[in-house]
Amino acid sequence: MPATARHLAELPPDQRRAALAGLSAEDLQRLEYEWRFWARPDQLPPEGDWRTFLLLGGRGAGKTKSASEWIRAEMESGRRRNMGIIGPTADAVRRIMIEGPSGLLSVCPPWCRPSYEPSTRRIVWPNGGVVYAFSAEEPDRLRGPNFDGHWCDEITSWANAADVWDMLQMALRIPGPQGHPRRRVSSAQRRRTSRCSSRSWRHQARSSAAPGPPTTPATWMPVLSPTCKTSTEILD
């Protein structure tokens, strides 16, 4: 079986059929949830030491799915145990990030599905890992908690983005079982464009578990007017 869906799609039809015919029903179900098989390279977080990974893209580029799959991988593996998700509004968090077609509940396979507790705004994995849901409209709720990772979706639509971001700096302090805290940021681009490319580079390496100086939105907001369909960037 080819390593990725792209490789499979590039095979001649008869070889493609033969590759799929060799799989059992169980294999096919597992393949459906094998993110590394389906993901485009720009949807996968890079190897190495990064703290903030930004994925920008046009509508429907697969930003939410990419971030949901990252949370799923961190939770299922136990690499992180306490994560946060923050969206522009409480409704968007629930409707898109948790219950949407690319949200956390949808990307998890039936054999390792977390349970969503709307009253406590928690999503709890079978291994005990927890994701806490927040809205950028309620920055005060971010005063107490501490995470070993979080995901910020549609950050260009956040009200008071700078204040919420500052608050989040203080809520990202626990090293996960496998090292310093990390965050994913995903957002739609603001400008329409016909160019399509992808870029990725290391902005600044960090190895310490200490949070270091905050990376403020002002540092990276300029990249939110890009000229490419998807753009990935390691911000720190």
Ligand X SMILES: Nc1ncnc2c1ncn2[C@@H]1O[C@H](COP(=O)(O)OP(=O)(O)OP(=O)(O)O)[C@@H](O)[C@H]1O
Note the residues at the interface with ligand X (CB under 6 A). 38-40, 43, 57, 59-65, 101-102, 188
DSSP per-residue codes, 160-193: THHHHHHHHHHT--PPBTTBS-EEEEEEE-SS--
- Residues in 135-154 that interact with Mg ion by CB under 5 A: none
Distances (CA, A) of 192 to 32, 126, 187, 230: 32, 42, 14, 12
Structure tokens at 7: 């490789």
The position carrying tokens 């107490």 is 144
Total number of residues binding Mg ion (CB under 5 A)? Answer: 2
In the chain the first and final C-alpha atoms are separated, in Å, by 36
CB of 136 to Mg ion, least distance (A): 15
> What is the smallest separation between the CB atom of 5 and ligand X, expressed in angstroms?
7
Shortest Å distance, C-beta 219 to ligand X:
23
Site string for Mg ion, 9-48 (x = CB under 5 A): ----------------------------------------
Q: Tokens 């046009």 appear where?
A: 58
- Residue 217 belongs to what H/E stretch? helix 217-220
Q: 57 or 176, CB closer to ligand X? A: 57
59 binds, among Mg ion, ligand X, none (CB under 5 to 8 A by kind): ligand X
Task: Write the interaction track for Mg ion spanning residues 54-83; mark x where CB under 5 A is met and - where it is not.
Answer: ---------xx-------------------
Tell the smallest beta-carbon distance from residue 1 to ligand X (Å): 16
Question: Which lies closer to ligand X via its Cβ, residue 39 or residue 171?
Answer: 39
- Which residue is closest to ligand X by CB? 62
Q: Residue type for 28, please?
A: L
Which residue number, 89 or 102, has a Cβ lying nearer to ligand X? 102
Helix (H) or strand (E) holding 220: helix 217-220
Place of tokens 């507790």: 117
- The whole-angstrom separation of Cα 176 and Cα 204 is 20
Q: Which of 156/169 has CB closer to Mg ion?
A: 156
What is the Cα Rg of the chain in Å? 18
Tell the smallest beta-carbon distance from residue 188 to ligand X (Å): 5
Binding site for Mg ion (CB under 5 A): 63-64
